[in-house]
Amino acid sequence: MTFLSYSGLIKGVICYALALEFAEEKGTVINKQTGTEINVHLFGPNMHSILHNCVLAIVITTTILCGSFMSLIRRCLLGDAKEQAEKAEAEKIACI
């Protein structure tokens, strides 16, 4: 289960999609004089690009780093497949 959660760190598409959705978020402000609601964007056009660039930098960095260490983490958490196969084969031979 730990290995699956570690591999889930690499999925950056969800983060990017949430950042896109969040950047388009609108808020409502009530004008005190007229009492009407006004829809306003929470982020200006410059903040859209800053938010997208920051999220993309984080996604790319974590994808490269976590992807690079995936085989090492697999070996540490799950062990070496060759060693397990040899042990299983030795146990079979010992039981016969």
Rounded Cα distance, 47 and 57, in Å? 15
pLDDT for residue 74: 77
Q: pLDDT tens digits for the chain (96 residues)?
A: 666 666 666 677 777 777 777 767 777 778 788 888 887 777 777 777 888 888 888 888 888 887 788 778 777 877 776 677 777 777 777 776
**Which helix (H) or strand (E) segment is 37 a member of?**
strand 37-41
**pTM > 0.85: yes or no:** no
SS3 for 33? coil
pLDDT in tens, 36-52: 888 777 777 777 788 88
Residue 29: domain span: 2-95
Rounded Cα distance, 60 and 69, in Å? 14
pLDDT for residue 80: 72
The number of folded domains in the chain is 1
